[in-house]
Structure 1
Amino acid sequence: MRVAELELIRAIEVRAGTLFHAVGKSDIAEHPVPAAEELARFVRSEMSWVAVGDDDAPVGFVLVDVVDGLAHVEQVSIDPPYARRGIGSALIDHVGSWAAGRGMEALTLTTFRDVPWNGPYYARLGFKELGDAERGPELTELMADEARHGLDPAERVAMRREVAGDRPAARLEA
């Protein structure tokens, strides 16, 4: 991902966010997307990747942090016209390979438990739900911060996937 692409990335996030209207989460759909400067932090730290279409324009992206020494998937968004083509799973696999190359044993993320393209989707990708006692201190604090920002803890879940077997995906750019 390049700083020059940040407005395109923000636009993808807006379009992907509109899907939350369909599951009764209009507050999420209407939540402002992060500012370009906030996204630039991921670019500068080299923990962001985009999937590109045939015209080399971004069609999806992933942002990653390190939480409790593991690669934490902060955000994955796919432009709705490109959904259901394996782009999200390719991005996740790429992050897994990146994490394995840095000696990290797993990926983590937090997501909505019952939204079809959230919890159930990540479970299909091999993520397992973490109980309270299985979360590290940083992940626990991250979830507490989500609750302070209005996300219902009963609707949220922390998940983990081991990195063994992940492999890089084609057409991704750092």
Structure 2
Amino acid sequence: MSRSIRRASPADIRALQGIEAAADELFAPLFGPQPFGPDSAADGAARAAEPGFVLVVAEAEDGPAIGFAHVLWPFGPGDAHLEQLAVLPAHLRRGHGRALVEAAVREASEHGARRMTLRTFAQVPWNGPFYAACGFAPIAPIPHPAHRAMVAVEERLGLAELGERVLMARDLGSPAL
């Protein structure tokens, strides 16, 4: 199988919302349709406008995006934050998510980040355990307004009521486990 990871193009940006909405449907059997529904996914253009970068994965060099990683710089120099990782359900279990994580780690490191953080469900198999296998470990909350804002958004969406949320981090100088 061929795989291509690239910076998101304008066409890719238009596809992000659909990719995220489809990936969010995987949560429905665990949590029901709310808060994950077709309207819960962020607009791709809004993602692209935030400080950071968006990488996409395709199964061919010029192929359509089948997944993406959105990385932000919310905590200042040295810290990157994996805001979203999503892969279309029809393309799961092929290593695309892990490949996106590793590409995002490389790119963030090339831009001077020494650590990458993310927030996720601790017990959902394709969340906390997946990220642990990618070298992330739970850490204490970061006393920073951007982290408090992330938690506030999660609370507004009702995510904390669905399961334990955890902040995880990976030292970008360390290889994945």
TM (norm. structure 2) is 0.81
| 8 Å contact from structure 2 (residues 14, 45) kept in 1 | no
C-alpha RMSD of the superposition:
2.1
- Per the TM alignment, residue 20 of structure 1 is displaced from its structure 2 partner at its CA by 0.6
Correspondence for 2:125 among 96, 116, 119: 116
> 1:21-170, aligned counterparts within 5 Å?
21-30=28-37, 32=39, 33-42=41-50, 45=51, 47-54=53-60, 56-69=63-76, 70-132=79-141, 135-137=142-144, 138-152=146-160, 155-165=164-174
Q: Which has the higher contact order (CA 8 A, sep 6+)?
A: 1
The percent of aligned pairs where both chains have the same amino acid is 31
Q: Relative to total residues, which structure has the larger helix share, 1 or 2?
A: 1
| 8 Å contact from structure 1 (residues 3, 40) kept in 2 | no
Task: Please give the alpha-carbon distance, in whole angstroms, between the structure 2 residues aligned to 1:94 and 1:136.
Answer: 28
Change (3 A) 1:90 1:136: farther
Change (3 A) 1:67 1:160: same
Change (3 A) 1:31 1:143: farther
3-state DSSP class of the match of 1:92? Answer: helix
| 8 Å contact from structure 1 (residues 64, 72) kept in 2 | yes
Stretches of structure 1 lacking an aligned partner (at least 5 in a row): 168-174
Stretches of structure 2 lacking an aligned partner (at least 5 in a row): 1-7
Task: Please give the alpha-carbon distance, in whole angstroms, between the structure 1 residues aligned to 2:74 and 2:89.
Answer: 28
